[in-house]
Structure 1
Amino acid sequence: MDRKNIETFYPLTPMQQGMLFHTLYEPESGVYVELLTAAWHGDVDIDAFRRTWQRVVDRHEALRTAFLWEGLKEPIQVVQRQAEVTVTELGWRTATPEEQQERLDEYLREERKRGFDLTKAPLLRLSLIRMADEEYRLVWTHHHLLMDGWSIPLLLKEVFAFYAAYLRGEELQLPKPRPYRDYIVWLKRQDMEAAERYWREKMAGFTEPTPLTVARRLAAGMEGEGEFADVEAVAQAELTLRLQQLARRHGLTLNTLLQGAWALLLSRYSGKDDVVYGATVSGRPSELSGADEIIGLFINTLPVRVQVPENVSVVQWLRELQAQQVEMRRYEYTPLVDIQSWSDIAPGAPLFESLLVFENIPLEDAVEESKGLDLRNVETESITNFPLVLVVVPGREMSLRLLYDARLFGAETIERMMGHLQTILHGFGERSEGPLASISILTSPERRLLIETWNATASPFDADDFVHERVQRQAERSPRALALAGPTDALSYGELNARANRLAHYLLGQGVGPDSIVAIFMQRSPQTVAAMLAVLKTGAAYLPLDPAYPKERLAFVMEDARARVALTETALVDDLPETDARVVALDGEWPAITLESDENPGVRISPDHVAYVIYTSGSTGRPKGVLIQHRGLNNLIAWHQKEFGVTSADRATHLAGLGFDAAVWEIWPHLTA
């Protein structure tokens, strides 16, 4: 760099330091390379256009700034006395509109990838692409290190004014602009001790970034430069108006509503009621006279920490969020790197992984004041180093744009996220007085899918086709077919049905019948299943008790269920808690039971009678008995057999404990197939 061409130099702002780091870290990613494109209709005076931009660059020191860092303790920005603007002319008039669009898309990709040599000013360039005789496409490329979004309309107004003057053959004289260095001086005077106290208190206890739960993990070797894409949506005029009215009615800003919507979306996605995301603040201090007219980079990125209490009303919560934003403005000059070091986040971990940018920039106003120039479709594009960025542009129809790293997110995921964000905004407009819990993120199609489509699981089944009757029919059809097999014994369907019938008649003689409960305290065996079947034949409900359960639980269940009879084995009698139920050790009383009839009892029951009782684990308190009707059991069997294609040729292993409802799945769908 020619030292004679150096006008002055000064340190970088913290935001510039961050941008410089990411630019050098990912040199071909296009990060922080800003693009503005516009369709320009009419004739263009190329010479006047060049002179205009050169005049504007000469006026503002920020536009003549380069950046040096090699061999220096800290990077500096150097303002050059002169920096020549480059204007490239291209002609695509012979190409079809489709070819022109393809070329333009490729040109913009290359422009971003090309970037800048940050040590050489100016860090901006222009292209005029002729599409037709009187139609051009303007491409303005610059590095974000030079200026923020607020500066763009300020510059465009000057460009339009100077260009119009040159076309008239006049020399326009504008007031000398305040230099960007004045902001650097102001920044150095700020109270960093007060800022540290504020941010330490604000971020205390927050130990890990809010997870983007829908993000994919990067495979090894995929770290580094991102692959960015975007999804755009427009909040229709009706929704935008409703949100504006809500904001005015409660003294809120539209920015606050979007901040709240983003916080609520992150909370719902992450399952956390304490979330942090990044937000871009303008950074133009009111106490610095003329700050709104200075060309340069004032913005800063700061963490926004939001608690999301579901029982608080939407309006109250938004008011608290806005008050928090007002307080934060007093310290918005604080470097993000310092805030991170004062937080409880582990070193090397990000403080947040999503960013909200509310672009309240009067770009359209500047274009409307274009001194008669016919500029249309003015668009800006930028890429940051954050994996997920929400860009909001207010207007008659608010623009919403999600910029994302395509390595981490699929397009469908981001489109769904955009739908959820819009649903939250609709919820704010419709239920602002209700609690946050009343705000759903589900879109109408998702709600229909969840409530109607996925819930349309009704399938016809015979509620009157009871388990014991199905076993009876199987015994009549194939009495010798194997029904149950254990380590030492087995029962055919005929034997199983006859054994169950004798026990059923015996139990009926003991007063057991519909609405009774019979406990079964036995080891897993064919005889145990026969006992369950016998109880069903009486019309009573069986209560399976696992001998492995603690005695205290068994005692509670027996007392709570008020079982009339307890079926067990001689070896287990002493393990059975003291009970008022009639205890029957089947192996000891079997000689008497064998005297009963082996005919089917024929007890009439309805699908609403209880088939069995299962007790919950009691992990959240005392165990609770769940009464399962025959209707539910028959439905389960029908579904299980249909879903898994169970036939009489299939076999199942009884592994679950008797007191676990999984045992029902293992036994009855297969025994009745």
Structure 2
Amino acid sequence: MTTDSPVIPATAQQAARWHTLRTARDRSVYHITWRLGCAGRIDFDALAAAWQSVTDRHDALRSRFEERYGELTMIIEPSVEVTALLIEPDLPEAGTAAEKFARAAADLHLREFRLDEGPMGRLALVRIGDREELVLTVHHIAVDGWGMSILFEDLSAAYASLVRGEKPVFARDAVTFRDYAAKLRAEEAKGKWRRTLDHWRTALEGVTLTTVAHDHELARPTAVGDPGATVRYRFTAAAHAGRTALAQELGATPFSVMLAAWQIVLARGGERESTIGVRSMNRTTRSELALVGLVSNACLVRATVDDGASLREVIGAARDATWNALAHQSVPFPAVHAALPEETRSRLTNTKLTLNYLGPIGQNLTLGDIRLTMLEAPNRAARADMVVSYWDGGDGILTETEYNTEAYEEETVLRMMRDMDEVLVAAAADLDRPVGDLRVRTRSAPAAR
């Protein structure tokens, strides 16, 4: 560490990740990897220079972490030399290139970050014959999904400048994570979190987490870092059209309608009361929207769905609950958890089910003028029983579900997605239909503690 390296207290989110990693079975659980197919030939020298320029630009990438006197600190180095990797496996026989690309992405994803040394990101170009893939990995202790999209936007701009023989030019000034962390500390010190903490103490009183019933009997509760995998599912055109119509008719966000569909599936699967985690972008200012760092947050949404309730009522309740949660999204969930009564905290060891809307993240990507395609993530560890992430696009709703492979078979995840699909179609056909008329194949259960 140089003498002018700023040392700041880590945020509550960062400290929670740090402590979870101490006992996680797989430390790659907080790696975010984008595997990107390339529709053109990349200039590797320009790519490497662009990667250095964005590392110079964003302080979160130059950070490292140390525990001092029981407190986690974030150290931001003024400069870090980084190197992009060029990986060129032997030219495979016909039919095996896809396997080699997948293997390379998985190996890069699993490669450990030294959090006490940094940096917090790495970039590789994998080249096999005339095909190429980019693999960008960051550590989730430093960068979230939205920050990843800003990082890639800057990488693309820098690359475009460099291939023209020009210095990198960016659309906006960089926003420092250091300033964002200072803002959080100031808000807490001034008591601005009090109202939100009071809200969550009331909202989560007596809460019980819900999960999809496990396929396999486990010797212990599932935990962050258990073995995991991802599977993709594309909703039918009828479900996509139905969700759009429902959102318009009820004045709801598409996210709220998706949340309601999951709540209905869980209710019909056996658990009338459900508690689902939702990921919030948690960026409400222009500077936060331009920030590369860990800003996103988690909230919990509770629902009780009776068989006699209409689909209209359930979706309307999910709409209102979502807006209520987002009104209290700004306080980091680890700080909320610490402020809860002991009885409530004991019920919330780890969120088991999470819904995450990715919006434009990872969509319509380019590197300079080279079009890129987001491929399935190479995750091998699970953050929860299931994390359902989805994008909206011109061709419908695409989901990628990360799930615990010790608890579930892939077919269970796909069955749940098909149930949600059918709920959306049924709701669009008749909003006044009672929930009890629906049939699902998913089974739900209280989460083990």
- Is 1:145 aligned with 2:141? yes
Give 1:158 shift: 1.6
Aligned residue for 1:422, secondary structure, equals helix
The reply to whether residue 51 of structure 1 matches residue 52 of structure 2 is: no
Distance between the aligned counterparts of 2:7 and 2:272, measured in 1?
A: 46
> What corresponds to 1:324 in structure 2?
321
Q: Alpha carbons of 1:436 and 1:339: their partners in 2 closer, same or farther (altered >3 Å)?
A: farther
Q: Deviations over 1:436-466 (max 9, x none)?
A: 22333259xxxxxxxxxxxxxxxxxxxxxxx
Alpha-carbon distance in structure 1 between the residues aligned to 2:324 and 2:149: 28
C-alpha separation in 2, matches of 1:216 and 1:359: 30
Equivalent runs, 1:559-578 vs 2, <5 Å: none
1:192 is matched with 193
Query: Deviation string for 1:272-326 (max 9, x for gaps)?
Result: 3221111111111x2x442111111111112111121332322233222222222
* Counterpart Cα distance in 2 of 1:265 and 1:222: 21
Q: Contact 1:230–1:401 at 8 Å: present in 2 too?
A: yes
SS in 1 for 2:6: strand
Mapped to 1, the partners of 2:376 and 2:353 lie a distance apart of: 23
Of the structure 1 ranges 118-127 and 15-24, higher mean CA displacement relative to structure 2 is found in 15-24
Partner of 1:112, secondary structure, is helix
Q: Report the alpha carbon displacement of residue 417 of structure 1 after superposing the two structures with TM.
A: 2.1
- 1:198-248 CA deviation, whole Å, 9 max, x = no partner? 112111232x32253334332379988512123321012332122112212
Q: Distance between the aligned counterparts of 1:395 and 1:433, measured in 2? A: 29
Q: Corresponding residue for 1:307?
A: 304
Larger of the two Rg values belongs to structure: 1
Conserved 8 A contact 2:256-2:319 = yes
**Structure 2 counterpart SS, 1:364:** coil
Which protein has greater RCO, CA pairs closer than 8 Å, 6+ apart? 2
Conserved? CA contact 2:105–2:378, under 8 Å? no
Deviation string, structure 1 residues 21-40 (Cα, Å, up to 9, x no partner): 22232264420111111222
Distance, in Å, in 2 between the alignment partners of 1:227 and 1:30 is 10
Partner secondary structure for residue 30 of structure 1: helix
Residue segments in structure 2 that go unaligned for 5+ positions in a row: 443-449
C-alpha change, 1:331 and 1:220, in structure 2 (3 Å) is closer
Query: Is 1:360 aligned with 2:355?
Result: no
- Give percent identity, aligned residues only: 22
CA contact (8 A) 1:48 1:163 kept: yes
Unpaired runs of at least 5, structure 1 = 444-673
Inter-partner Cα distance in structure 2 for 1:360 and 1:222: 29
Residue number in structure 2 paired with 1:170: 166
Matches of 2:373 and 2:93 in 1, distance apart?
Answer: 20
SS in 1 for 2:69: coil
Q: Distance in 1 between matches of 2:221 and 2:145?
A: 34
Contact kept? 1:39, 1:137, Cα under 8 Å? yes
TM-score by structure 1 length? 0.60
Contact 2:20–2:224 (CA under 8 A) maintained in structure 1: no
1:399 matched to 2:398: yes
Verify the 8 A CA contact 2:160 2:368 in the aligned structure 1.
yes
Compared CA separation, residues 376 and 112, structure 1 to 2 (3 A): closer
Distance in 2 of aligned mates of 1:349 and 1:323: 23
Q: How does 1:477-516 map to 2 (within 5 A)?
A: none
Pairwise mapping of residues 329-408 of structure 1 onto structure 2 (< 5 A)?
329-341=326-338, 342=340, 344-345=343-344, 347=346, 350=349, 352-367=351-366, 370-380=367-377, 382=379, 383-396=381-394, 397-408=396-407
| Aligned partner letter, 2:8 | Y
Measured in 1, the distance between the counterparts of 2:40 and 2:436 equals 55
**Counterpart check, 1:123 vs 2:124:** no
Q: For 2:64, what is the secondary structure of its paired residue?
A: strand
Q: CA deviation at 1:399?
A: 0.9
1:262 matched to 2:262? The reply is: yes
Equivalent residues, number: 433
CA distance in 2: counterparts of 1:185 and 1:255, whole angstroms: 31
Name the structure 2 match of 1:64. 62
Q: Secondary structure at the match of 1:345?
A: helix
Structure 1 residues 42 and 197 mapped into 2: Cα distance closer, same or farther (>3 Å)? closer
TM-score, L = length of structure 2: 0.88
Query: 1:533 — aligned with what?
Result: none
The partner residue of 2:150 within 144, 154, 169 is 154
Compared CA separation, residues 211 and 405, structure 1 to 2 (3 A): closer
Which residue does 1:276 correspond to in 2? 275
Classify the secondary structure of the residue corresponding to 2:388: strand
Conservation of the 8 A alpha-carbon contact between 2:222 and 2:384: no
Q: Distance in 1 between matches of 2:244 and 2:223?
A: 41
Query: What is the CA distance between 1:94 and its match in structure 2?
Result: 1.9
Deviation at residue 183 of structure 1 after TM alignment: 2.0
Q: Structure 1 residue 243 and structure 2 residue 239: aligned? A: no
1:256 Cα offset (Å)? 0.2
Q: Alignment RMSD, CA only?
A: 2.5
Q: In 2, distance between residues paired with 1:121 and 1:351?
A: 27
What residue identity is the alignment partner of 1:300? N
Distance 1:49 1:426, change over 3 A: same
